[in-house]
């Protein structure tokens, strides 16, 4: 096990904490979903209440190593200030003399937010000089940005070379739930996979087939599976060249006694737009029609399977949930899962978490992951560099 925040004495110390404030902004620079900021609050509050001087660092968007005013962390500092009821001082950079001077002037219980790490190309390159500059700001390092733990960057891995390091409460919770579902899940275990690309999910499926009992497939990736079963998929998205891979998955599942469930009916349209003519069709999709969501029979069938489960992990929406006519399947399954008793429900970040947060059902799930890519790699059985770099207990 890794050291956690409670193993660290933060009193009177400069605590350098990596947070994930990569929040969505609208065209006016206003935050449209503050879930990631709220997720960091338990660690922030604990450090401040225990007399630490807190230096927060994060990235936002993809500035590609140069300053972009629209990707400044200023809105995050304002939101944090209002949530904490105290000033969060936002600096104009994350390294340099001005930053060092501001940190030297901190008192116990003060909080500073450094500017966007990715304004510097050295961050993503895990440049040792840049990492040392960041590390010099703190006495201890807390990793609480699960969403970047699968990246070996200066602020996730580099800084741990020079500072005692531990997992914050958010990363501790992520480790706890992903370790449980990948090493010791309660059975029956049901994995729901959706999203666009089969290719992205193959390593995950191969790793999880040893652990799960049921695999429910939806989203655009379902049509590649359906085509391999000789079903009509009309003009639906399909990844050609994956037929052999999909056949191998079915064979492996059969050997491991894992039941794979595919859509039995579909919500289809000829165009991908909110006001398109929409139909419900059975198993075979007619020519020129695109499958964009699972249909009512599929929802009913999937709910029967989910009702039996003691562990549910969900990665990827089962339809094009961003567009109202095609959000029904994702919403119905989320609603159903939220009402189940005595089940461990883990939502694998990214679009799935966004969909569930939009429905205000996040608090009804056992765990809502804050990292899409990181949760995917955890389920693939990969070691996450940002977690591996932390001190062991």
Catalytic residues: 36, 197, 350, 373
Q: In what order do the strands lie in the sheet with 111-113?
A: 89-90, 111-113, 53-57, 14-18, 140-143, 165-167
Which residues 6+ apart lie within 8 Å of 215 measured at CB?
190, 191, 193, 205, 208, 209, 253, 258, 259, 260, 261
Helix (H, G, I), strand (E, B) or coil at 30: coil
How are the residues of the chain apportioned to helix, strand and coil, as percentages rounded to the nearest 5?
Answer: 40, 15, 45
Residues 360, 210: Cα–Cα separation, whole Å: 33
The owner of tokens 């379902």 is 222
Two tokens, residue 25: 């902004």
Q: Within a 13 Å sphere around the CA of 128, how many CA atoms are in the beta-carbon half? A: 2
Two tokens, residue 27: 């065209």
Which residues 6+ apart lie within 8 Å of 145 measured at CB?
18, 19, 20, 58, 156, 171, 386
């Amino acid at each position: 096990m890794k050291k956690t925040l409670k193993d660290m004495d933060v009193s009177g110390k400069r605590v350098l904490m990596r947070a994930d404030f990569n929040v969505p902004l609208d065209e006016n620079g206003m935050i449209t979903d503050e879930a990631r900021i709220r997720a960091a609050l338990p660690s922030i509050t604990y450090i401040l209440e225990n007399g630490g001087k807190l230096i927060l660092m994060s990235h936002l968007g993809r500035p590609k190593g140069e300053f972009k005013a629209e990707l400044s962390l200023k809105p995050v500092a304002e939101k944090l200030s209002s949530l904490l009821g105290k000033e969060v001082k936002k600096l104009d950079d994350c390294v340099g003399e001005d930053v060092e001077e501001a940190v030297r002037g901190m008192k116990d219980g003060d909080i500073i937010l450094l500017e966007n790490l990715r304004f510097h190309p050295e961050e993503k390159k895990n440049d040792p000089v840049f990492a040392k500059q960041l590390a010099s700001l703190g006495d201890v390092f807390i990793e609480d940005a699960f969403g970047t733990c699968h990246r070996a960057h200066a602020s996730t891995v580099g800084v741990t070379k020079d500072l005692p390091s531990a997992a914050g409460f958010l990363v501790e919770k992520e480790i706890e739930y992903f370790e449980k579902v990948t090493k010791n899940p309660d059975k029956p275990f049901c994995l729901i996979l959706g999203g666009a690309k089969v290719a992205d999910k193959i390593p995950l499926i191969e790793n999880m087939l040893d652990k799960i009992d049921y695999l429910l497939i939806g989203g655009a990736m379902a049509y590649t599976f359906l085509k391999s079963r000789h079903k009509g998929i009309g003009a639906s998205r399909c990844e050609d060249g994956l037929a052999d891979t999909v056949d191998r998955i079915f064979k492996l599942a059969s050997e491991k006694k894992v039941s794979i469930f595919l859509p039995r009916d579909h919500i289809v349209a000829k165009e991908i737009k909110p006001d398109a003519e929409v139909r419900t069709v059975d198993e075979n999709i007619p020519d020129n029609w695109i499958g964009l969501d699972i249909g009512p029979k599929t929802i009913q069938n999937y709910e029967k399977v989910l009702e039996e489960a003691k562990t549910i992990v969900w990665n990827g929406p089962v339809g094009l949930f961003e567009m109202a006519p095609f959000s029904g399947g994702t919403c119905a399954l989320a609603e159903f899962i939220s009402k189940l008793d005595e089940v461990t429900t883990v939502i694998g970040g990214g679009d799935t978490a966004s969909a569930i947060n939009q429905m205000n059902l996040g608090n009804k799930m056992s765990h809502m992951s804050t990292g899409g890519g990181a949760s995917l790699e955890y389920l693939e059985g990969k070691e996450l560099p940002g977690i591996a770099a932390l001190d062991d207990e």
